Structure 1
Amino acid sequence: MLKNTIKSVLGLSAGLFLGISALVPAAHAEQAGEQEVIKWRLQAHLPVGSGSWEDSVVAVRDKLLERTDGRLQIELHAADSLFGPTEIFPAVQRGVVEMGYTSPAYLMNYIPTAGLAFASPGAFEDIWEALYFWKHLGFEELVQEEAAEQGVHYYTDKLYPTEMVLKEPVESLEEFSSLKIRGAGLLQKFISEVGASAVFMPGPEIYHALSTGLVDGAHWGASQEANALSLYEVAKYHVRPSLGIGGVEVFIINNKAMEELPEDIRRIVKTTFQEHFWSRTNEYQYQEVEMLNHLEREQGVEVITLPDEIQQRMWEVGRELRAVEAEKSPNAAEAVRRLEQYLESLGRGE
């Protein structure tokens, strides 16, 4: 059941609470000594209970603290503590806070390629395919160019699949078309075009919507993030294939704040994010295997596969949406051109 996910792991190669978590360990404070200490704030769109809070947000904060000998200190703020999720990008852009941890789903009004970055629906079947597109075919650089024009540095946290949870299995495209699904970003449009009725709502509202029948299913990351919101208490079916594979979370940094860093710290920041991407992507895939095994064993979650007619419709809609995304900017057009050429080389051309 988890064969494809395990293959992903083997194929990858290369990396109060908030007040307490934001404190600088005494050892690092002493190491900083007489050197200038730079203090930044980071607003995240995820709650503290999310797995990516500790393994991505806190992990990067701690790495930068250690590698700069305490000279770069980042104060962390979880979801909605300073700004709501849609306000993170403009806050970083204006320098109100120096850093953000957010989703490309909230950046589409600023960065035209962000829809494709959130997920390229109907494109990739496995993580390694997306990795090759991101790094070897230069997709992330196209996104970063547009972000830089908006005054922001952009670093993908990790790549992983976005997968749905459903309250009941579906046996046909007709049944799927009767569902109401929580969606976000380009995937909201994707779900609607495939046939279901897609509606947006913030993460904290998904559990209530599922439990009361307002929606029949939802996506919130993969199994780890869905479990962090307790979605499997009310929706026992985890759905394959994924809606899309992409960089669902990203770190963004205000350009001016980055430029004002001492050269050595700026270099440490950049290399840390590069390393973190590879290690975190690899780590996340293994954690997905662990989580799904646990959910199946302990909570009775069942991994199901969508019928062939729904999958076929997903591939068709994916091509249609990519053509629409290509119209948004020169970089988006180039990204889609590279992607279609790549998919053709994988034997998935029209």
Structure 2
Amino acid sequence: MKLFAKANKTLAVYAAALTLGISAALSAAPAAAEETFTWKVQAHWPAASSSYTDSLVRLQRVLDERTDGRLKLELYEAGALFSGKETFNAVSRGILEMGAIAASYAQDKVSLAGIASGLPFAFRNVWEVAYFHKNMGFEQMLRDEAAEHGVYWSTEKIFPTEMVVKKPIKTWEDFTRLKIRSSGVLQKFLTDAGASASYVPGSEMYSALDSGVVDGAHWGAVQGAASMSLYEVAKYHVKPALNIAGTDVFIVNQKALNKLPEDMQKIVKDTLNEQFWIRTNEYLFKERSTLAKVIAEDGVEVNKLPDDVQEKLTQAAQKMWEEEAKRSDNAKKALGMVKELLAELGYL
């Protein structure tokens, strides 16, 4: 009897140990599935810019929620690790997993980037550009070109680019005397049209305006100018828009994206696509409300360009469209799509 009792006791110990082992194995399985990933993300926006919070911080929060904390974005403002124009290469090489750039910064890699950053005096409404990207296939064309460099491209939002100036533009001569902070396609356009445009980093724009290094600048439109305090030194907001475009872009290293589990890859892509629509609509609303506020509180005045100035700028712009088309067969095709849409809308 004692032998049987001892055997039963031993079996009970083994059974308990086996149960604990199975339980530990089962509890360890989910832990292995819950691998976390941290991505370094540098923006071209200074932390003071409205889009840093409204776009980048929003994306960080939403991805954290939807992946249950499995994907963390480690955020860096403009210039913290790389210059804006170096960010595409850093993402392409995998030094950064993700970046937020101006489309114009990728012109040496993506032949469509110039058109993406906005043909001047082409589209007149934000919805037209959204239709061009999402319904006519331009977004996929951009994505295919970026993929050749190991980068997943996702336009962040569509918005107008509008200048602020220290003195109102009343004549063509007023325009041609301007020194303007600009970038990308618009920098070339403004210079070719007769002004003097040069690139100044976002972090230096305020001081450049304040000191007279430049007479005008563009950083998005009303929200961008307000968030960078540009109205303190430049009280005139110029309309119409220089362009309306998918100026801001999220770029993701394709290898980093592929390392994520399939469900997380889908979450990232779906969230980026959703962000396009949410931020485009939100930006439009905030443009109107911010303009009303700065007019009422800061004494800002809207400077509508005279008709003859608009006509000359439009003529200069259309010449430049053709130059963009020479970048590649893809660019030629994209410009044809732009003209097709503008003709259907009765603009050409």
Give me the TM-score of the superposition, normalised by structure 2. Answer: 0.89
Separation (CA, whole Å) in 1 of partners of 2:183 and 2:82: 19
Asked if the contact 1:32/1:71 (under 8 Å) is kept, the reply is: no
CA apart distance, 1:114: 0.6
Kept in 2, the 8 Å contact 1:121–1:187? The answer is: yes
Q: Give the Å deviation of 1:261.
A: 1.2
- Give per-residue Cα distances to partners, 1:63-95, cap 9 Å, x unaligned: 111111111111111111111111111110000
Kept after mapping to 2: 8 A contact 1:122/1:317:
no
Number of the residue aligned with 1:95: 94
One-letter identity of the residue aligned with 2:70: R
> Residue 109 of structure 2 aligns to a residue in which SS?
coil
Is 1:231 the equivalent of 2:230?
yes
Match for residue 44 of structure 1? Answer: 43
Q: Residue 343 of structure 1 corresponds to which residue in structure 2?
A: 342
State how far apart, in whole Å, the 1-side matches of 2:324 and 2:44 are. Answer: 25
Q: In structure 2, what residue type is equivalent to 1:253?
A: V
Separation in structure 2 between the aligned mates of residue 121 and residue 293 of structure 1, nearest angstrom: 25
> What SS does the aligned partner of 2:317 have?
helix
- Matching residue's letter, 2:278: S
Give the match's secondary structure for 2:247. Answer: coil
- Give the aligned length: 319
Q: Distance in 1 between matches of 2:179 and 2:49?
A: 25
Q: Which has the higher contact order (CA 8 A, sep 6+)?
A: 1
Residue 168 of structure 2 corresponds to 169
Shift of 1:314: 2.0
CA distance in 2: counterparts of 1:88 and 1:314, whole angstroms: 32
Q: Which moved more, 1:244-253 or 1:200-209?
A: 200-209
Instruction: Name which one, 1 or 2, has greater alpha-carbon Rg.
Output: 2
Mean CA deviation greater in 171-180 or 261-270: 171-180
Percent identity (aligned):
48
Specify the alignment match of 1:328 in structure 2.
327
1:293 partner amino acid:
A
Indicate if the aligned counterparts of 2:209 and 2:233 stay in contact, CA closer than 8 A.
Answer: yes
Cα distance in 2 for residues equivalent to 1:283 and 1:221: 14
Runs of 4+ with deviation above 3 angstroms: 31-34
Q: Shift of the alpha carbon at 1:263?
A: 0.6
Distance 1:260 1:33 in 2: 15
Deviation at 1:33, TM superposition (A): 8.3
Tell me by how many angstroms 1:199 deviates. Answer: 1.3
Cross-structure match for 2:19? none
Using the alignment, how far apart are the partners of 2:226 and 2:326 within structure 1?
Answer: 36
Aligned match of 2:107:
108
Alpha-carbon shift at residue 318 of structure 1 (Å): 2.0
Q: Which residue of 2 aligns with 1:128?
A: 127
Which letter maps to 1:173? W
Asked whether 1:261 is paired with 2:260, we answer yes
Matched, 1:148 2:134: no
The Cα RMSD (Å) is 1.3
Match of 1:319 in 2: 318
Amino acid at match of 1:325: E
Give the TM-score normalised by the residue count of structure 1: 0.89
Matches within 5 A, 1:59-74: 59-74=58-73
* Residue identity in the other structure for 1:90: N
| Residue 180 of structure 2 corresponds to residue 181 of structure 1 | yes
CA distance in 2, matches of 1:134, 1:95: 27
**For residue 139 of structure 1, what is the aligned residue in structure 2?**
138
Q: Cα–Cα, structure 1 residues 220 and 309, in superposed 2: closer, same or farther, change >3 Å?
A: same
Find the aligned partners of 1:302 and 1:211 in 2 and give their Cα distance.
Answer: 18
Secondary structure at 2:263's aligned position in 1?
helix
Aligned to 2:81: 82
* Contact 1:167 1:217 (8 Å CA) reproduced: yes
1:235 counterpart SS class: coil
* Structure 1 equivalent of residue 247 of structure 2: 248
CA distance in 1: counterparts of 2:99 and 2:311, whole angstroms? 37
Cα deviation for residue 50 of structure 1 reads 1.1
Structure 1 pair 325/68, CA: closer, same or farther in 2 (3 Å)?
same
User: Offset of 1:309 from its aligned partner?
Assistant: 1.2
Instruction: Tell me the alpha carbon deviations over residues 257-301 of structure 1, each in whole angstroms, 9 at most, x when there is no partner.
Output: 111111110011111111110011000100111111110011000
Structure 2 letter corresponding to 1:320 = K
Q: Which residue of 2 aligns with 1:309?
A: 308
Paired residue type of 1:297: A
Separation in 2, partners of 1:32, 1:153: 29
Inter-partner Cα distance in structure 1 for 2:130 and 2:255: 29
Contact kept, 8 Å, 1:122 with 1:316, in 2: the verdict is: no
What is the match of residue 19 of structure 1?
none
**CA positional deviation for 1:32:** 7.7
CA distance in 2, matches of 1:64, 1:43: 16
Cα distance in 1 for residues equivalent to 2:52 and 2:291 = 19
Give the Cα separation in 1 of the matches to 2:346 and 2:121: 14
Query: Is contact 1:143–1:331 with CA below 8 Å preserved after alignment?
Result: no
Amino acid paired to 2:309: I
Shift of 1:193: 2.0
TM-superposition CA deviations, 1:3-55 (whole Å, max 9, x none)? xxxxxxxxxxxxxxxxxxxxxxxxxxxx9886111111101111111111111
Q: What is the distance in 2 between the residues matched to 1:34 and 1:192?
A: 55
Distance 1:180 1:258, change over 3 A: same
Q: Is the 8 A contact 2:46 2:202 kept in 1?
A: no
2:7 maps to what in 1? none
1:20 counterpart residue number:
none
C-alpha distance in 2, partners of 1:132/1:315? 22
8 A Cα contact 2:169 2:305, kept in partner: yes
Distance between the aligned counterparts of 1:63 and 1:204, measured in 2?
Answer: 27
